[in-house]
Amino acid sequence: MTSYFEINYFKRLAKINYILLVIYISISITAHIIANRLSLIDGYPIISAGYIYMACYVLTDIFACFNSRRLVILLIFLEAVANIIFIVITNIINSMPYPSFFHHAQAYRTVFSPILVLYFANLIGTFVASVIDLYIFYYLYRVKRWCFTIASLTSSVFTLTLYTYITDYFGFRGSFPLHVWQITNINVITNFMTLVIYTLMAQILVFYLHKILNKTP
């Protein structure tokens, strides 16, 4: 018979999953929107998505702390679906006729048109990399019992490097053909730096979530 504690545990876990899924999808869509907006730090061009997208990687590891692999893969799939819905609607609106007094249609095309290419590059790189990362993390954290920070960073080293080069090259060679390798190399460094920051923050969150899920009434 299912105990009262187990019922409350899964109720709390469902609420946590809903909250984290909203944050996860919101960050992913935002990252796609701002990806083609380069910023400059000390003379180096930075892909703006690099500031936030590594949080998605860390969130999948947080999901894996409390959920089955199958469910986490479903959540990664939902992220891809949410992005394609956003992109399809955006491209439909961009292709619709507009009144003569609206003078900004080309600006919308310039901003949103490259997102479709970036999405398909991400679909190849991110989805495969996320699933591989998930299996490695799951083994290190759930089987080998490594702490969250070490397991998450270790699982991301290989997959992140592979994902970044695949995604950035195919995603940005059309927009920035003369600088695509420079941008990609810098983005690898940016991704690792932000990954460390988000992982350290996530360690605190995982500890807090464990307390919430395991508290007794």
What's the confidence (pLDDT) of residue 2?
53
| Listed residue (141, 128, 8, 122) closest to 62, CA to CA | 141
pTM summary value? 0.88
What's the confidence (pLDDT) of residue 216?
64
* pLDDT tens profile 86-143: 888 888 888 889 998 988 888 888 888 877 777 777 776 677 788 888 999 999 999 9
How is residue 109 written in tokens? 């095309």
Confidence class of residue 17 from pLDDT cuts 50, 70 and 90? very high
Which letter does DSSP use for residue 87 in this model?
H
C-alpha distances in Å from residue 147, one per residue of 70, 105, 193, 207: 22, 50, 20, 10
Strands, E assignment, the chain: 38-41, 44-47
- In this structure, the chain runs to a length of 217
Q: Residue 28 and residue 25: Cα distance in Å, rounded? A: 5
What's the confidence (pLDDT) of residue 217?
59
